[in-house]
Amino acid sequence: MKLIYQTRVTNIGNSATAFLGEKMIILFKDNAPEELADYCILHSGNQVLQAVRAGDILRIGNQEYAILYVGDEVEANLSNLGHITLRFNGAKEGLGGSIYLEDKVMPEIEIGDEIAIFRS
């Protein structure tokens, strides 16, 4: 499998779980603005090796999710800010700054977990 993107969770905002009911996780590089950091999963890097696309696999810790749709702002937002929204709802279209994933049990993210995207 070819690595497309890789980072590591450095902090979990106190209100990051507020969006779990909507099957959403918000990622932001660990230099996120203070007013946003509390709602985000913060991570250490944002080097995107290739454009993320539908059919790639997202891995968080030891759980994998098929990527169904990639919004048109994901590459720029991820590269520049490390900021995207992961949506675990099975949708095959949606908002520009989001990656849409298969609808299955969401991961329980912990500090130190790796977040990676691979291509077969």
* Residues with catalytic function: 43
Task: Tell the burial category of 28 from Cβ atoms under 10 Å away from its Cβ (0-12, 13-18, 19+).
Answer: buried
Asked if 20 and 120 count as a contact pair (C-beta separation under 8 A), the reply is no
Give me the helices (H) in the chain, please.
Answer: 34-37, 74-81
Q: Which residues, 6 or more positions from 36, have their beta carbon under 8 angstroms from its beta carbon?
A: 28
Give the start-end residues of each E strand in 1-120. Answer: 2-12, 24-29, 41-43, 57-60, 63-70, 84-87, 98-101, 114-119
